[in-house]
Homo-oligomer: A and B are copies of this chain.
């Protein structure tokens, strides 16, 4: 990690960005394009082939229905989209580049080599990669300091999360800039401390997913039972308060400290195939302090009321959509 390589970078004020380039014609590239259009940017989208154009418009038109429901930025219109299959044309004049090319390391490395030559060094290039690291991707790029990962969640036009992390040659200034820019662009950016495989959200989801596959493999549950259990159980609560705070609040006055002291032994129980870490004092304190930080002085009754009001809203959203399913 080198502040060095990027120390002379002078990025544009993220609030002044008006022109964004999106690379990739699939659901992620299309989703990003729709998102940026809805936030009022001029967007140039690079597609690998003209054969992708029709499907690309379909993605954007589908996304637009939801984006309109959530509210468009002033001046936002699909007319501000330019599509090209020429990379030099695509990146010309871009003030930010979101790359969503296929998840093939060779291909991404060649692409970042090309972008390193085509794109001025003061333009941040952010990769949607979910499975590769920026350290790998930027290996052949001549100007890697401004390259970062900006990993969205599907569908990227709806789910606000963007996980940001640099590679070994990325400048802190670039991740800082991406953080500021994504926030202005209406996303919920999350800067990671470390470049870990799967980042944070996918690691959590993947642990759950692997446990689900184990249950199906063992005949303990069907896909329908798994999804029904999630929809009617942990998921609405998780959507409001995540998992740490869900446990913190459930334990009343004692919060996470009570949770760990009381339920800590249950970490030894075979409630999943995933072995738990040792519940050291250090881990306990990190969890407790972390939850208290999030609560920032709010009493648990206030937090519980917030949780309940949120869950009521989520349940109404679910039941509007999924009446049949909820009754399984």
Contact = CB atoms under 8 A, between A and B. Distances in A.
A13 interface: no
Interface stretch (A73-81, A107-115, A120-128, A233-241): A233-241
Given A188-B228, A271-B197, A237 B318 contact: no
Nearest to A226: B244
A274 B273 contact: yes
A280 interface: yes
Contact of A229 (B200, B212, B216, B269): B200
Interface of A: 27, 62-63, 65-66, 69-70, 131, 153-155, 158-161, 163, 183, 188-190, 192-194, 196-217, 219-245, 247, 250, 252, 256, 266-267, 269-280, 282-283, 286-287, 290-291, 293-294, 301, 304-318, 320-322, 325-328
Contacts of A183: 327
A210 B274 contact: yes
B310 A321 contact: yes
Nearest to A204: B208
Given A226-B243, A239-B236, A193 B221 contact: yes
A274 B271 contact: no
A287 B194 contact: no
Nearest to A242: B227
B315 A321 contact: no
A195 to B, nearest CB: 10
A316 B315 contact: no
Contacts of A227: 241-245, 294
A294 B224 CA distance: 6
A316 B239 CA distance: 11
22 contacts: A62-B308, A131-B266, A158-B315, A160-B232, A192-B220, A194-B219, A198-B269, A200-B225, A203-B272, A209-B247, A210-B267, A210-B274, A211-B274, A213-B277, A223-B244, A224-B294, A227-B245, A236-B239, A238-B238, A239-B239, A274-B274, A313-B316
A215 B215 CA distance: 24
Given A155-B308, A158-B311, A286-B223, A252 B188 contact: no
B217 A211 contact: no
A317 B328 contact: no
B272 A207 contact: yes
A232 B220 CA distance: 30
A54 to B, nearest CB: 14
Nearest to A266: B131
Given A210-B277, A250-B154, A305-B62, A202 B311 contact: no
A230 B242 CA distance: 6
Given A213-B283, A222-B286, A229-B190, A271 B202 contact: yes
Contacts of A305: 62, 65
Given A223-B287, A235-B242, A309-B321, A214 B277 contact: yes
A321 B280 CA distance: 34
Contact of A200 (B226, B301, B318): B226
